[in-house]
Amino acid sequence: MHHPQRRRLGEAASRVLVVVYREDVGQLQQFFEQEGFLVQQVRKRYSEEEMGYPAQNRCLLSHRDAWNIAKDLPDWTIVVEADFVPCLGFGLFPLPFNESEPDPKIGWLYSVGPVVYHEDDSGGFFGHNAGTVAYILNSASAQCWLRVFDEWTGERSLDTYEQFEVIMPIHLRHRYGVRLYISPKSYGEHGGLANPEHTRLGYRAWHQADSLQSPLAFLPAYAQGSQLRYLLIRLRSRLRYVYKFLHGKYFDSWKTYWKLPEPRLRKLRFAFRRAFL
């Protein structure tokens, strides 16, 4: 089946918003500028009350600021967190979706535990993702995220730790019909160190990409300057996602997979490529 060609990231988006707190993002900014993007740091100044929130929720407030910027821009906007490490050739990678498909939609450029539910008429795959390390959105989807944020803060206190990046995408899908597209492979890596806040609360403290579109532009912080450490951590992540594929986790479960609408085989191939190739 022939599908229309998608624009490249560097053609569809002119701006990258880097969500940052105290991190040095000079290397990341330089890379994106060399790729031809306008880079804007979203560096929030937290109030005394906000400084008492869990770091996870302060991160949410920073993303809210990025969505407020994106909603007023005329084209697509890329949002990345400070510890994102892009792949070489980032600006040449295709959008995860065809722009002719209905809005609202968001494209995940880095995925945590991607789950494939649907394929659209243009060959794009969408479903669920549980991270906000790197994604692309436009005004329509930014406005949806802001509405979810208002509902989120109206339903719960930000004093309490919650995994907003896991639950909010579910609300985007179910309440506002946002299509959450998954790129063929991750267009970069989550390069940060393990999060002690996650560990303290009983969550897994690390996550990296299943597969990468191309070699990384620079060594992630988690490598601590060691190429060997980098390779071992990448191997750990690949093995984790091979395990997830074998247990049907790319579709929630094999039981769910067999209930997905046809054609299922293309969804299986998409997941197989992410896990193994």
Residue 3 in domain: no
Residue 201 in domain: yes
Q: What per-residue confidence (pLDDT) applies to 1?
A: 59
According to DSSP, the β-strands at 179-182 and 76-81 are: unpaired
Q: What per-residue confidence (pLDDT) applies to 3?
A: 72
Taking only the tens place, the pLDDT of each residue in 253-270 is 999 999 999 889 999 999
Residue 24 in domain: yes
Contact 110, 134 (CB under 8 A): yes
Taking only the tens place, the pLDDT of each residue in 170-191 is 999 999 999 999 999 999 999 9
Taking only the tens place, the pLDDT of each residue in 190-238 is 999 877 776 676 776 678 999 999 999 999 999 999 999 999 999 999 9
How many angstroms separate the CA atoms of 52 and 132, rounded? Answer: 22
- Domain range for residue 87? 9-276
Q: Return the sign of the alpha-carbon dihedral for residues 94, 97, 99, 100.
A: positive
Residue 182 in domain: yes
Taking only the tens place, the pLDDT of each residue in 88-101 is 999 999 999 999 99
- Angle formed at CA 249 by CA 206 and CA 178, multiple of 5 degrees: 85
**Where does 35-176 have alpha helices with state H?**
48-51, 55-70, 139-155, 164-176
Residue 67 in domain: yes
Number of domains in the chain: 1
Residue 199 in domain: yes
Residue 250 in domain: yes
How many angstroms separate the CA atoms of 110 and 122, rounded? Answer: 21
Contact 198, 204 (CB under 8 A): yes
Q: What per-residue confidence (pLDDT) applies to 30?
A: 98
Q: What per-residue confidence (pLDDT) applies to 197?
A: 73
Lookup result for tokens 């998608």: 6
Residue 4 in domain: no
**Among 28, 15, 22, 127, CA closest to 73:** 15
CATH of the domain at 131: 3.90.550
